[in-house]
Chain A
């Protein structure tokens, strides 16, 4: 999802009997639906895994500002501009909440930022795709936020307290994101011929990348099994992808748009749509840095960080002077 391909210990899930008492108590607490809080004992793997996952999730929010931010200054009406700006601002806020959650695990935001900027840490593959027309604002809201919500709603029940609380806040604020996207799509799909064409083109370009957001099949992944045992991953990738397709197909039909998959059809027996897997070679290419916008996205984040250094330092220096003056006056 916003966190893809997170590696855990890679050692397979231990049974309760194999665990030392401390770890066993920890796992039993999770099994009983309890929350783990920052000061609680936790296995090293749990901590590292969570830092990677929450960090990647936060990075995705921040980098995710860019493709949509690309259209703020070109939004076609004042209202659309305000809505889009509010939405992209929410993403900055969500990144902030998530970084704070990661910080409770013993890592600083600056450290995580450096790992993003150096390319050491990843963000969701989806944000390496370009936004080319206004309809892309519709498609991103509808499909990308739609896919994200599918993952984030269950994460409200995740075992790590600060992460779960951040997700509660995020889900609450994000409820309008997918709707605003679909609203743009409705307007486009029912608009002029050119608008309808734009809408179909956006769906064509974002359908595959949206399916990739859930990550490759992880039925046999030891990493996923461990994450699920720790309740920091709540559903399998395939399960969420299927749910996403099942929800989107009727929504596309309502818009009068065609999902770009000739083999898409309802399977009565399974009670689900059969669909074609996205191009996983492309997915791994994007992950390796060869997506259409990888370099631009990282360059934009690096520039913002570098250009902002004097501001962060300046305000910090002023605060220190103020403190010193106050002390001297006492």
Chain B
């Protein structure tokens, strides 16, 4: 097994279909950059339907509201949607984490 280098970042994919009113979140995928993310989204999430509009956003760039709060039972929310560990840059010499 090859030693891992840097994983392709995660992108969130939003698509407006032919008759769709607004872009809708359809899922995520990995890509080296936004341009390739759009191409990958076309292959993964539209299977090439034409006439759709695709938005991609790197997952780490999304800010989100806190989850629904019921009393004080929930911990104060952090400001990222997902708890992806890729948000943290771990030096290579530290090893897998």
Query: Contact residues of A with B, CB < 8 Å?
Result: 21-22, 25, 37-41, 93, 96-97, 100, 103-111, 114, 117-118, 166, 169, 302, 305-306, 309, 312-313, 315-316, 318-319, 322-323
Contact = CB atoms under 8 A, between A and B. Distances in A.
A103 B78 contact: no
Contact of B8 (A40, A96, A111, A316): A316
Interface residues of B, number: 33
Given A315-B36, A316-B8, A306 B1 contact: yes
B82 A104 contact: yes
Interface of B: 1-2, 4-8, 10, 27-30, 32-33, 36, 44, 64, 66-67, 70, 73-75, 77-78, 80-86, 96
Given A96-B29, A97-B27, A106-B83, A25 B70 contact: yes
A41 B74 contact: yes
A276 B36 CA distance: 51
Given A108-B84, A302-B1, A319-B32, 12 more contacts: A25-B70, A25-B74, A38-B81, A97-B27, A103-B10, A104-B83, A104-B84, A110-B4, A114-B4, A114-B96, A312-B8, A323-B33
Given A39-B77, A93-B44, A96-B44, A103 B4 contact: no
Contact of B7 (A22, A93, A108): A108
A107 B97 CA distance: 9
Contacts of B6: 313, 316
Contacts of B33: 319, 322-323
Nearest to B33: A319
Which secondary structure dominates where chain A touches chain B? helix
Secondary structure of the B contact surface, majority rule = loop
Nearest to A308: B2
Contacts of A97: 27
7 contacts: A25-B70, A25-B73, A39-B64, A39-B82, A97-B27, A100-B29, A312-B8
A315 B5 CA distance: 12
A90 to B, nearest CB: 10
